[in-house]
Amino acid sequence: MINKLDMRADIQEVLLTEEQILARIKEMGKQITEDYKGKELVLVGVLKGVVPFYAAMAQAIDLQVQEDFMSVSSYGAGTVSSGKLIIRKDIDIDIEGKDVLILEDILDSGRTLRGVVQMFEARRPASVKICTLLDKPEGRVEQVEAAYAGFTVPNAFVVGYGLDYAGYYRNLPFVGILKPEVYQDK
């Protein structure tokens, strides 16, 4: 059961500390700054899990950028998914001719991002790429790769730094593995 009085007590193991995460984001930011010099970059964050990563990542990119957000949910999570997405909030910016970088908290099966990339490509941007804080390659179902990935994580359920379980733990400043008993009596 979720310990609503002490979120840290529910963490089995810290995988990535705040210091490690911030150092890696700064590295990625330098690379992205190099790669997108002279381009019209639009950062698109997929809510809600991306929020802390997005804030740090945008500041680590030393370029003139536009920022936007979207919210999606997918059909059939945990079952046989059709891969169809429900767009709960679309972006506001017209991305035609622009270079789009989608920011995500974690790339797992790839269903969410495959759908988002396809939807954006129909709007004729100059390019669409993915930047994810975490990559869980063992979970992959769709052929989706991130141009920029902060860390590879094992096939375990992780929370913190934006990632949630049942809507909680997003505000932990690190990434950790949840104790099994938190799910067990669910």
The residues assigned a catalytic role are 108
CB of 72 to Mg ion, least distance (A): 9
Q: Which of 29, 45, 49, 52 binds Mg ion (CB under 5 A)?
A: 49
Give dist(CA 154, CA 147) in Å, integer. 19
Site size toward ligand IMP, by CB under 6 A? 15
3-state helix, strand, coil split of the chain in percent (to 5) is 25, 35, 40
Nearer to ligand IMP, 10 or 108 (CB): 108
Rule CB under 6 A: say whether 109 interacts with ligand IMP. Answer: yes
Amino acid at 37: K
Please identify the residue of the shown chain whose CB is closest to the bound Mg ion.
49
Give dist(CA 22, CA 39) in Å, integer. 25
Nearer to ligand IMP, 41 or 172 (CB): 172
Interface residues with ligand IMP (CB under 6 A)? 49, 104-112, 136, 157-159, 163
